[in-house]
Amino acid sequence: MLVAVLSFLAGILTVFAPCVLPLLPIILGGSFDARDQDRRRPYIITASLVASLVLFTILLKASTVLIGVDPHVWLYVSGVIVIALGLFMLFPEAWARVMLFVGFEQRSQELLGKAGRNKSKVWSAVLTGAALGPVFSSCSPTYAWVIATVLPANPALGVVYLAIYCLGLAIALLAIALLGRRLLAKVKWAANPKGWFQRSMAILFIIVGLFIITGWDKQVQTWLVDKDFLNLISLEEKLVPTNTKIEQRPDAKTAFNVTPYKAPELRDIDAWINSDAQSLKTLEGKVVLVDFWTYSCINCQRTQPYLNEWYKKYAGDDFEIVGVHAPEFSFERVKANVEQAVGEASIAYPVALDNNFSTWRAYDNQYWPAKYLIDKDGYVRYTHFGEGDYKETETAIQTLLAEKGSTSLPAVGADGDVPAAVGQTPETYLGYTRADRFANTSQFAADKTVTYTLNTSPRNHHWSLGGDWKIGKESATAMQDGAELTFTVSAKDVYVVMNGADSTVTIKRPESTSYGKDVNDKGIVRVEEPTLYHIVDFGSLQRSSTIKLSLPKGVSIHAFTFGS
């Protein structure tokens, strides 16, 4: 009963959470249509959205029914529907013609009357809500707990909790929609069906639809989640049933943060990648890091370079990482898909496919990513959830390795820095909160468009910008077509984290060297989603080699990483 109440409260809180804010204009705009004064619109849109959310949560996250469908299909379908609704708001006569075409032909004259209009408007409201279900991305810890922990263990109970969560969500959404509709109805300029407000809402629909198709809505949501201005996610985390096995015991002297307890065994693993079947019993005597992840999780992707580096540094000292892949979506249950992701992320350690969440539940885990550090005797001594605290985690690894007798361990990297090979260019961030070695420092201005003067041959490990750029906290964004970046690097491989809406970036590298696997033979890399792109392969460690990137307007660069 308590969990049901918490699920209901979590649903209400989700409406005010940062990840839902980008969708609220659709709820408000769809609920108030000056051309349609039907008071049922807010109810229809809310019911349609919630029904769609429940359906697609079950189909995409709790079953394998749609396992073979490319996940991008749902983005395109939802985005196109939202864009179409925006266009129909701009050109209402077109909607009537569509209604005729899809089934009202025999009543073409009646469609011009009241009954026909009501039917067409009902369909408009249904589509508005239904389009958001497949792309609804809840940052609610309760929602994540239900789909990852309850649904796999007890589907019937999971559906009940999901329905209760959605009921709370529906009530809060409906309250916002009704209040917004009531306020807008009293404003003359908003009630004008041909006024600027209605047209602005239509254009907003189109913009949101484009953001959904291109994936930019996730970038907005990620930014808002990081900010969490109202601190709602932290508040809701307190509502989620906690892992009773983990007793927090911060201890600055030893870097450990939990009271030791026996690590649960790896259970019901569907398949293994990079190794034969493993168990903690056979790994006893080693220090083991169990990492729960899923390959579409952006937080997991940003953590991956650190895991790879730790495995490289400490695997020879009886250290092992076991990546427990617990899928959020049905397509992540397919071994071939996970194998491809493992290869693209250069993961060399064993990966276990925990498709039924058996090991996840054994650890009472609730997060992607989540790390459990286990000592040589099989006891969990340290945990960390989410990104960050890399220095603390590596310190804990070294402490446990020292306990078992390892000596001459390498220096612990600074938090946020992946230790590099000797002489290799270190990981470099372009956002001003973590950037360094910037050749245009004298011209820099935060969060403003600046015309930078390109240094065509910056010093080793330094980078320069040319043209109009805006440097934000986490990235540098090209503000004109043909914006340039040069970077003098020492590395074997060059990778860059970029984000852009189906854009192309041109790479120029020194003669007699090869492009990376993400670049075609003309030096062009297509940026379709925020991820890591392999742009240059020198073949071996090359020192002081300058590369150049030419970017279109709107593409952002977050960071460069290097391999040897």
- DSSP-based three-state secondary structure for 474: coil
d(CA 372, CA 331): 26
Cα angle value 463/465/468 (rounded, 5°): 165
Cα 260 to Cα 307, 341, 369, distances in angstroms: 23, 33, 21
State the DSSP code for 357: -
Q: Which domains are assigned to the chain? A: 2-237 (no CATH), 248-403 (3.40.30.10), 428-563 (2.60.120.260)
pLDDT at 298: 65
Give the three-class secondary structure for 552. Answer: coil
User: What pLDDT, on a 0 to 100 scale, did the predictor assign at position 328?
Assistant: 74
Q: d(Cα 145, Cα 139) in Å, to the nearest integer? A: 11
| Four-residue CA torsion sign, 491, 494, 495, 500 | positive
pLDDT in tens, the chain (564 residues): 566 676 677 677 666 665 566 566 666 665 555 454 557 777 887 788 778 777 777 776 655 555 566 656 766 777 777 777 677 667 766 655 655 555 543 443 343 334 334 445 667 677 777 776 666 655 555 566 566 555 655 667 667 777 777 788 778 877 877 777 676 666 555 555 566 666 776 777 677 777 767 766 656 655 555 555 555 555 555 555 555 455 555 554 456 778 888 999 999 999 999 999 999 999 989 999 999 998 877 678 778 888 998 998 888 788 999 999 998 777 788 888 889 888 878 899 999 999 888 899 898 887 788 999 999 999 999 998 877 778 888 889 988 988 887 666 666 655 444 444 446 787 788 988 778 789 998 899 999 999 999 999 998 889 999 999 999 988 999 999 999 999 999 888 999 999 887 899 999 998 878 999 999 999 999 998 788 899 999 988 888 899 999 999 999 999 898 876
Residue corresponding to tokens 């961030």: 429
What local confidence, expressed as pLDDT, does residue 324 receive?
Answer: 96
- Using CB atoms within 10 A of its CB, is residue 244 exposed (0-12), middle (13-18) or buried (19+)? exposed
